[in-house]
Structure 1
Amino acid sequence: MTHPVKLRMYAQHARSLVIFGVAAVSLCSSQFSHSALAFQPALVLPVRTGILIHREASKRVQFSSRTPLLSSPTGTTVDTDVERNMPTKTPLVQRKYKTYLWKKHLHSYNINYRMEGPLDGPPVLLVHGFGANVNHFRYQFPALVEAGYRVYAIDLLGFGASDKPKEEEYCIELWVDLLVDFLKAMDMDMGSDERKSNKWVVGGNSIGGLCSLSVTEKLPDLVRGCVLFNCSGGMTGFRYTELPIFIRPILYFVQKVVLGQHLGGRFFQNFKSRENVESILVQQGVYGDTTNVNDELLEILLGPSEDDGAQEVFLKVFAGPPGPTPESILPNINVPILALWGDSDPWTPLEGGLHPGSTFGNYTDDFKLVSLPGAGHCPHDEAPGLVNKEMISWLKELDV
């Protein structure tokens, strides 16, 4: 007999899939309701494993061209409200930084990455979520560099300013292969003394967190720690095996029909509008704390959607295989893990759902969980002061 809690959870999943299917079909028409859309694949992985958090329809954000950048000295105690948003100069949103040529079988791809900080500093690699890019870590770069770390962020294949090949089959394993090769290449660029003394810390948001876990598992001799800024349960929203038989046809309809060849293109074109993305971030509660939802963030997220191949990547990822679960990876990791989790995340909830972050510590020994009140799916961008303070403190403990 199915447990009542599971029945309620399955009912929530079915409701979410129906809402998404109806909203997606509406998005394919010339007129649609933004408030009807309960998923946001243009930013990060749309894994809806918890209860939908409803927001007031009247909730709005006044956007400003100013973008606060955090630069907080290590060990400084700051008031929480100030710590979340510490305004400094507004940077120019630069998309392309450095290029890593990734050779994959018979193909070569240009991969965009950003690197800042002292060459002799302990290296940290940051990995974005679905639809984001290196600039989504706009608040981590200055804080980590000031703390003495050499900071890298990479645009996964298909995102940001990296190549977007239409023929690729996008999956978690593809990105993990890229990250493994990138990490080895960057490590070889260091001097021999640096390689001996400085192992890597890898961190990521959403699917970037899942990829970071997998990289940590695959490179135990190169990675000394892993940081999760909320972690997805897979690349796509659901696995067929995780859902009851009566719900699976709904998922099939969404993946094969709504996101298929005939409707998918129009769906993407309507979906990537500024108005829609703003609605998802604010009304749908993806950003539990909307203080940093501003013009710069929208430019960061929307810019790459105009690139050739962006539509194909979007649809392939949305309908692609879910990949491994975090629970299957965690037991194989023997290095410290820090999870900084927004407790208001409607997609990858801290409590409840299929892959709640609150249970990750049951699968591995050295696991520290920090719940961030009021933050949603992207805590590193919503509450950067709190996130950076916790992360730098944890990194300093690793350095000892």
Structure 2
Amino acid sequence: MKRIFKWIAFAVVTLIASLGLTFWLRPLAVFRVLNKAQMYLIGARGNFTNVAGYRIHYYTLGPSDGPVVVLVHGLGGRSEDWGKLAPYLAKAGYRVYLPDLPGFGQSETPADFSYSVGDDARIVVGFFDALGLKQVDLGGWSMGGWIVQLVAAQHPDRVRQLMLFDSAGLYVKPDWDTKLFTPVSAAELEKFDALLMPHPPQLPEFVVRDILRTSHEHSWIIRRAMDSMLTGRDTTDGLLPALKMPVLIVWGDVDRITPLREGQKMHQLIPQSQINVIPGCGHLAPNECASQIGPGVVSFLKK
């Protein structure tokens, strides 16, 4: 019996040591597993579909017969980024779809894809078609906001209501170094985090190391997307005044990536829009300030 207990103790210690080593070597992989577990706990279920020949991952949550809401993440993001806001919509009776754009999250990373907002918009419309979504309430965050503006402008019959969260899309040259989206040093990562969050956390060295490693692996996707956006080819200044559907604009008032003045300009360009400014929140407002944003989003959708 003592020998059995020794073997059990040895197995437990070995397992704990292995988990500890895995976390130290690849903390982001552990965080991704935890994020998936969190999505499962809020009722989200993952699936895949084929869009334009690419394998696209998405989550669904909320009642299957509820009005459809589709939320599109931003540059460098993933569907799990909506994990704090989406439950507000699901609890209000909406069927929520959270797709991963090509190259991000669990979707395919095709080498032959442009990663431009124009092609991403076509992927989103293809996602509607693949799942038989005739008309949706559509929201997007940052680059995702830019993408959904294009979808709404080009396919107004498919979008009941539009939601823009700290959105890009206007013809504006960033006043920050866009190379920070692919940091190559701890100092650059610190500067990037300061752009994203008013109060960025102090990250352990081993986490910083893994973030930089992952950034290097995916930098070609980010650069391809960023280079396309910086051409100004798909900007929406001229499209927004023609939108007819109700539009909600949500913005963190200390956003440094897409400053509040850009949200205010969008509000001016879209006569029927309403703008909700969230005090003390930055570019990650839909995640970090979901409790302040969620009730207002539900109220907008139910009007």
The bucket for the TM-score relative to the shorter chain is 0.7 to 0.9
Residue 212 (structure 1) aligned with residue 148 (structure 2): yes
Equivalent position amino acid for 2:153 in 1: E
Moved more, 113-122 or 358-367: 358-367
Task: Work out which of the residue numbers 281, 287, 293 in structure 2 matches 1:375.
Answer: 281
Corresponding residue for 2:251? Answer: 341
SS at match of 2:237: helix
| Change beyond 3 A, Cα 1:122–1:366 | same
* Shift of residue 169, structure 1, vs aligned partner: 2.1
How far apart, in 1, do the equivalents of 2:105 and 2:92 lie?
27
The superposition leaves residues 110-134 of structure 1 with CA deviations (integer Å, 9 ceiling, x where unpaired) of 1111111111101000011100000
The superposition leaves residues 50-85 of structure 1 with CA deviations (integer Å, 9 ceiling, x where unpaired) of xxxxxxxxxxxxxxxxx9xxxxxxxxxxxxxxxxxx
Equivalent position amino acid for 1:177 in 2: R
Q: Check whether the contact 2:162–2:246 (CA below 8 A) recurs between aligned residues.
A: yes
The superposition leaves residues 16-37 of structure 1 with CA deviations (integer Å, 9 ceiling, x where unpaired) of xxxxxxxxxxxxxxxxxxxxxx
Q: Check whether the contact 2:36–2:80 (CA below 8 A) recurs between aligned residues.
A: no
Corresponding residue for 1:43? Answer: none
Equivalent position amino acid for 1:315 in 2: R
Regions of 4+ moved over 4 Å: 93-96, 275-279, 301-304
Task: Work out which of the residue numbers 183, 188, 204 in structure 1 matches 2:128.
Answer: 183
Task: Work out which of the residue numbers 293, 296, 301 in structure 2 matches 1:387.
Answer: 293
The count of corresponding residues between Structure 1 and Structure 2 is 262
* Shift of residue 319, structure 1, vs aligned partner: 2.3
Corresponding residue for 1:286? Answer: 196
* Shift of residue 329, structure 1, vs aligned partner: 1.8
Q: Check whether the contact 1:171–1:322 (CA below 8 A) recurs between aligned residues.
A: no
Q: Check whether the contact 1:268–1:311 (CA below 8 A) recurs between aligned residues.
A: yes
| Higher fraction of helix | 2
| Change beyond 3 A, Cα 1:153–1:277 | farther
Moved more, 147-156 or 325-334: 325-334
* Shift of residue 138, structure 1, vs aligned partner: 0.9
How far apart, in 1, do the equivalents of 2:36 and 2:220 lie?
31
Corresponding residue for 1:102? Answer: 51
| Change beyond 3 A, Cα 1:238–1:178 | same
Moved more, 367-376 or 323-332: 323-332
How far apart, in 1, do the equivalents of 2:35 and 2:125 lie?
33
SS at match of 1:97: strand
Equivalent position amino acid for 1:392 in 2: V
- Consecutive unaligned residues in structure 2, runs of 5 or more: 1-30
| Change beyond 3 A, Cα 1:150–1:313 | same
The superposition leaves residues 165-211 of structure 1 with CA deviations (integer Å, 9 ceiling, x where unpaired) of 223222111101001111122235xxxxxx6xxx3111011110011
Task: Work out which of the residue numbers 244, 260, 281 in structure 2 matches 1:350.
Answer: 260
Q: Check whether the contact 1:111–1:156 (CA below 8 A) recurs between aligned residues.
A: yes
TM-score (norm 2): 0.74
Aligned-pair Cα RMSD in Å: 3.6
* Shift of residue 314, structure 1, vs aligned partner: 2.1
Q: Which has the higher contact order (CA 8 A, sep 6+)?
A: 1
Q: Check whether the contact 2:183–2:189 (CA below 8 A) recurs between aligned residues.
A: no
Corresponding residue for 1:311? Answer: 219
How far apart, in 1, do the equivalents of 2:182 and 2:165 lie?
27
Matches within 5 A, 1:102-181: 102-103=51-52, 108-181=53-126
